[in-house]
Structure 1
Amino acid sequence: MTAEPAAVLAEEQALELLSRGSLELEGRLVDASNTTLRAEITLDGLTRRCVYKPVRGERPLWDFPDGTLAGREISAFLVSQATGWGLVPPTVLRDGPLGTGMCQLWIDEPGDASSLIGFVPAYDIPEGWIAVANARDEDGDAYALAHADDPRLARLAVLDAVINNADRKGGHVLYAPDGRIHGVDHGVSFHVENKLRTVLWGWTGKPLPDEATEMLSRLVAELDGGLGSRLEEHLTLTEVQTARTRARRLLRRGKFPQPPQDWPAVPWPPV
């Protein structure tokens, strides 16, 4: 069966499809460190592709000993959903061909999509981009890791600060045909220690945009209520409490966070 052209699904419709649809595995994404499979999922004549990450295929991580990576992926979606920004594709925890795992809607990227993050010549940083780190290629030529000063990326940087994302690579940012961007691969998030590691440091120390301040005010209230309870199904109580603290601190300071001093600030490879 071939998936139909990927028209945009409403979130509720996508979650219903992911939760109840029939999964047919297509193959494995070999670049992933944990078992990551692409599948077709079908419900009532509607077919889409999805990413399926079975818990049994997760490699144990010494610094994330509790819960599952799948649970952290679900938690990232729940927080994204509460922001109202739609940054993480619809994601559910469900049974599949290889057991319980995370199932996330596949995002088709347009063939002519130009990345908003990458290495650029240090002497020719595109207008409207922000340099994050210096680098050199094999010939010794100077490059800069940089990203666009784009409000969509700024939203993602705020989300990462709240969930303490330890692995925001450029390749973990997807560009949908409808112009939205999505962040994926959040299995190493929500640690109780500051492990924020990202390529989106361009706004370090700058004031948060007004929309982020308004969102954080709502998010703090939701973390104190129903959202916090839902997160406790996937994270430890301490991890949920620490996420609340991070959101409150971010709101109180009103600025983008500073890079950690005792933890590599940029993931490797960055893109």
Structure 2
Amino acid sequence: MPAPERIPPRSLTDADPVTVLTEGRLTVRGQVRGASNAVLHCAVSHEGVELACVYKPVAGERPLWDFPDGTLAQREVAAYEISEATGWGLIPPTVLRDGPYGEGMCQLWIDAGPDGDGHAEDRRRPLLALVEDDEPGEGWKAVVRAEIGEGRTALLVHADDPELRRMAVLDAVINNGDRKGGHLLPAPDGRLYGIDHGVTFNAEDKLRTLLWGWAGEPLTAEAVGVVDRLGTELAPGTPLVTRLGELITEAEIEALRGRVGGLRASGRHPEPSGSWPSIPWPPV
């Protein structure tokens, strides 16, 4: 299949992207290489509006030992629902729909930067870096010391960035088992998006992330308010819980409530549990 062609999306003021993604005609334009599951680059058109999107059919999912087969697409949509409930909008519009290869996840395509280099112009620096100093330096948070070859080590750091910190809270809530550097997309407008949320919402602790820099630190006042609101919206019978019930299991919803309750009680970013690898592999 040919490499994906870039499809410049029209202004999102023309139509609701969720409506376009849900009801539009889906046309496959190419395949995103290097992904562990089938990831197709598509155009979706509805009432004269065409948007670029990613389509991940359930039929193209590889089985995982610790997740039920054929559930990754639903988990991506559930992660979007939680992102929207926070009000932070950290995950691109994502829906579950039928497509050329059956039911799957369909998500708005986000260009990583004006030159495809992964860094928006107004951010002016990467979100992750390796430094050979012992301390991360101003504006950075330390994650872990890593081997870089020939007996040398370097400190893996991430930016002390408010949107990244929101992402760390979201990951703790949804129990993200795969927050790699390549799953962070700074958009040209300066916003930050997270993608690839198929391994989320496990009832067991699976949090693996590169965003451990705030581990053990108090949540921001903003995050405390968001977590409090999530606790209310996750009460049995709410619209959010009804939507989640179509995507993940009742045990996973109960575990989600437990994680939110834990964050509310501690008021702090979680720390690695020690019972599960804390860093995803490969990290990028």
Quote the residue 2:215 is aligned against.
204
Which residue pairs with 1:142 in the alignment? Answer: 153
Corresponding residue of 1:37: 40
Do residues 107 (structure 1) and 118 (structure 2) align? Answer: no
Gap change, CA 1:126 and 1:171, over 3 Å in 2:
farther
Between 118-127 and 184-193, the greater mean CA deviation after superposition: 118-127
- The residue that corresponds to 2:252 in the other structure is 239
SS at match of 1:95: strand
Q: Rate the CA distance shift 1:67–1:239 in 2: closer, same or farther, 3 A.
A: farther
Residue 128 of structure 1: CA displacement?
0.6
Q: How far, CA to CA, are the matches of 1:160 and 1:242 in structure 2? A: 14
Q: Which moved more, 1:197-206 or 1:108-117?
A: 108-117
Structure 2 residue aligned with 1:167: 178
For 1:227 and 1:14, locate their aligned partners in 2 and report how far apart those are by CA, in whole Å: 20
Change (3 A) 1:98 1:270: same
What is the TM-score when the length of structure 2 is the normalising length? 0.90
Task: Give the root-mean-square deviation of aligned CA atoms.
Answer: 1.8
Distance 1:210 1:11, change over 3 A: farther
Aligned partner letter, 1:246: R
Q: Contact conserved, 2:10 with 2:49, CA < 8 A, in 1?
A: no
- Following superposition, the deviation at residue 29 of structure 1 comes to 1.2
1:24 match: secondary structure: strand
- 2: CA distance, partners of 1:11 / 1:31: 33
Q: Is the 8 A contact 1:199 1:266 kept in 2?
A: yes
The aligned residue for residue 55 of structure 1 is 58
What SS is found at the alignment partner of 1:38?
strand
Distance 1:197 1:245, change over 3 A: same
Query: How many angstroms does 1:125 deviate by?
Result: 4.0
Partner in structure 1 of residue 80 of structure 2: 77
Whole-Å Cα distance in 1 between the matches of residues 169 and 104 of structure 2? 27
Q: CA deviation at 1:10?
A: 5.4
1:47 is displaced (CA, Å) by 1.4
- From 29, 34, 45, the counterpart of 1:26: 29
Letter in 1 for 2:90: L
- Indicate how the Cα distance of structure 1 residues 41 and 218 shifts in structure 2: closer, same or farther if over 3 A, else same: same
1:186 aligns with 2:189: no
Are residues 155 and 8 of structure 1, via their aligned partners in 2, closer, same or farther at CA, if it must alter by over 3 Å?
farther
- Of stretches 106-115 and 193-202 in structure 1, the one that deviates more from structure 2 is 106-115
In the alignment, the residues of structure 1 paired with residue 130 and residue 47 of structure 2 have an alpha-carbon distance, to the nearest angstrom, of 44
**Cα gap change, 1:8 to 1:193, in 2 (>3 Å):** farther
- In structure 2, C-alpha distance between the alignment counterparts of 1:6 and 1:143, rounded to whole Å: 40
5+ residue gaps, structure 2? 120-124
The one-character-per-residue Cα deviations of 1:90-131 (angstroms, maximum 9, x if unpaired) are: 000001010100000000122261421233333584531111
How many residue pairs end up in the alignment?
270
Q: What SS is found at the alignment partner of 1:81?
A: helix
> 1:158 aligned to 154, 169, 178, which one?
169
* Structure 1 unaligned blocks of 5 or more: none
Q: Secondary structure at the residue paired with 2:37?
A: coil
Q: More deviation in 169-178 or 137-146?
A: 137-146
Q: State the alpha-carbon separation in 1 of the partners of residues 195 and 181 from structure 2.
A: 10
Contact (CA 8 Å) 1:15, 1:92: kept in 2 or not? Answer: yes
Q: Partner residue of 2:98?
A: 95
State the one-letter code of the partner of 1:185.
Answer: D
Q: 1:14 to 1:3 in 2, by over 3 A?
A: farther
Matched to 1:268, the amino acid is: W
1-structure distance, mates of 2:211, 2:234: 24
Q: TM-score, normalised by structure 1?
A: 0.94
Contact 1:38–1:50, Cα closer than 8 Å, also in 2: yes
How far apart are the structure 2 equivalents of 1:161 and 1:200?
10
